[in-house]
Structures are given as C-alpha cells and as structure tokens.
Copies of this chain bind each other. A is one copy, B any other.
Amino acid sequence: MYTTLKEACFEANRQLPKLGLVLFTFGNVSAVDRDRAVFAIKPSGVPYDDLKPDDIVVCDYEGRVVEGALRPSSDTKTHALLYKTWADIGGITHTHSTYAVAWAQAGLDIPIFGTTHADHTHHDIPCAPTLTDEMIQGDYEHETGHQIVNFFTDRQLSHKTVEMVLLQHHGPFTWGDTAEKSVYNAAVLEEIARMAYLTLQLNADTARIKDTLRLKHYERKHGKDAYYGQGC
C-alpha cells in the first residue's frame, strides 16, 4: 500500500553508507506522505547491507506503527514530532557523522566561514543544548523533537533556511523537501563541519565571511532571482 513511499525511504537510507555518513547502523532516514499523514522510516538496528524496501516501517505522526513487521528506528518519535510541527518538510535524516558529532560534542555552533557554507544556509549551523533531565527521563525521543523545534523558535531561526541542527553531546539532524534532500543536507553538513574544523586549527581567530558575500552566495542559489542550477 505504501510501496512508493517505502522505496523512497529505502533509497535515501542506502545513500548514507555510500556517502560515508554512517558506521554500522548509526543513522536513519524517513520520508513523509503528507496526503496520508504517515512517514516511512528505517527499522531499528538493521544493517544497511541487509536492508530491503519491505523492511521499511510506516508510522503516523504520533510515531505509532501503521505498517511493517519490524520495530521502527528508536528515534522515530523525534521524526514524528518534526513532521507534525513543520508541515512543509518532506524528509528527515539523522546520522552520527564524524565531524558533525565532534562539533555537537564540543557544544559549539559551526561558524559560517565561507561560501561552501553560505551556498546552503546564511546562518551558523546551530547547536541545540542537551535536553533537561526531566526531558531525558520522560518521553526522550519525543522531547528531542520538541527541543529542536523550541530551539529554532527561541533563536528565531526558520527551518526553511536552516535545514540542519546539531544536538549537544549527540549529533546532527537534517531535513528537506524530500528524504533525498535531507540526506544531501547531511552530507553537506559533514563537509562544512570538516572545513570549519580545519579552518580553526589553522587560525583560531578566523573571522566569519562578510555579510555581502554570505548573502550573495545564498541568494544566487536560493533567492527569488537564483541562477544556480537548471531552475527545475
């Protein structure tokens, strides 16, 4: 019944090891079907090499299984909360990619140092603080979603212009119009994280990219007069 959705989710998950973003089972991608108000997500703990389209689990926005024989990702409720709150996103990726995790563990926003970063967002990549003890000991994965959403509200960030976040002492979540785009963002984030790391090792006092260049690169790719790509 959800064949196309599960295929899209399967294909997006398969990109993670190809892009070097996961070791073993340390990641998951989901894809949403807005018409039916369900999303497909990787089953928990299944190695990417063994994964088949039929293994993909379909859940509703409360994270309850709608279709599938396997247990969904342990992070399912985080995906559910994000889909429920941000009605215009189509896919979500969570990884433990190395450099993004390093920044998350260090508890630091990734400063916007260059055009590689500005091509994708004109903000620092934000690092949300660790959840409170109450949140962790409560409905943890659900609260993780709340933490991300509330953090974006507090920081006055739009999830449309910043499609990625670090969770302190944990790692990255990314999203986008499709599951495939959320995986793309996960790979971009890892590369931005690596470049910023190396930049600070070379010069701990590196200044951020200046405003005009920052906005120029973002706008030429995402603005209303964008001229990057084939316009489709």
Report if A170 contacts B (CB, 8 A): yes
Report if A210 contacts B (CB, 8 A): yes
Q: Is the CB of B74 within 8 A of A96?
A: no
Counting every copy of the chain, the complex holds: 4
Report if A107 contacts B (CB, 8 A): yes
A213 to B133, CA, bound (A): 8
Report if A173 contacts B (CB, 8 A): no
Given known A-B contacts A102-B195, A169-B210, A228 and B136 have beta carbons under 8 A apart: no
A199 to B212, CA, bound (A): 31
Chain B residues within 8 Å of A104, by CB: 114
Chain B residues within 8 Å of A71, by CB: 227, 229-231
* Number of residues from A at the complex interface, CB < 8 A: 63
Report if A197 contacts B (CB, 8 A): yes
Q: Is the CB of B197 within 8 A of A201?
A: yes
CB within 8 Å of B: which of A187-211? Answer: 187-188, 191, 194-203, 206-207, 209-210
Residues of A within 8 A of B (CB): 23-24, 26, 43-46, 70-71, 74, 96, 98-99, 101-108, 113-116, 119, 130-131, 133, 136-137, 140, 169-171, 184, 187-188, 191, 194-203, 206-207, 209-210, 212-213, 216, 220-221, 227-231
> Top 8 closest A-B pairs, CB basis?
A45-B229, A102-B198, A106-B203, A106-B202, A105-B113, A105-B199, A136-B212, A169-B209
